[in-house]
Amino acid sequence: MRYPPTVAFVNAVVRGRTFDDAMGTATGIVRRLDPAAGRASFQILGPAPAPLGRLRGEHRVQFFLKGTRRADMRNALKEVLSAMPNVRRRVTIDVDPLSVL
């Protein structure tokens, strides 16, 4: 099934004032990360509502990157988030997460 420890896993959680805001932002990030755009070294799972969908008054949506090359995933996320400066503060990235809550 290609899950850790045989592959690397990155969990990205996007926060927003409303669920639609968080989902729209996460969808925009995922579209820019599309592996078909030359990034075939990882797979994108999601976005989907986070298990803790609302925390401290903010709605949360998450997506995962799964692949064998952490550097490719990290560089792709850095590139996309640097092009979206107003979004960077609302995204939390966890590489090889111990929990996905």
Mean pLDDT of 7-17: 93
Predicted pLDDT of residue 48 = 95
Among the listed residues 55, 45, 71, the one whose alpha carbon sits nearest the alpha carbon of residue 17: 55
Q: Name the pTM for this structure.
A: 0.86
Residue ranges per domain, the chain? Answer: 8-95
Q: Does domain 8-95 have CATH number 3.30.70.260?
A: yes
Q: Is the pLDDT of residue 101 over 90?
A: no
Query: Model confidence over 49-77: pLDDT tens digits?
Result: 999 878 888 999 999 999 988 888 888 89
Token digits for 78? 């850095």
pLDDT at 5: 76
Mean pLDDT (the chain, rounded): 87
d(CA 95, CA 83): 21
Query: How far apart are alpha carbons 86 and 82 in whole angstroms?
Result: 9
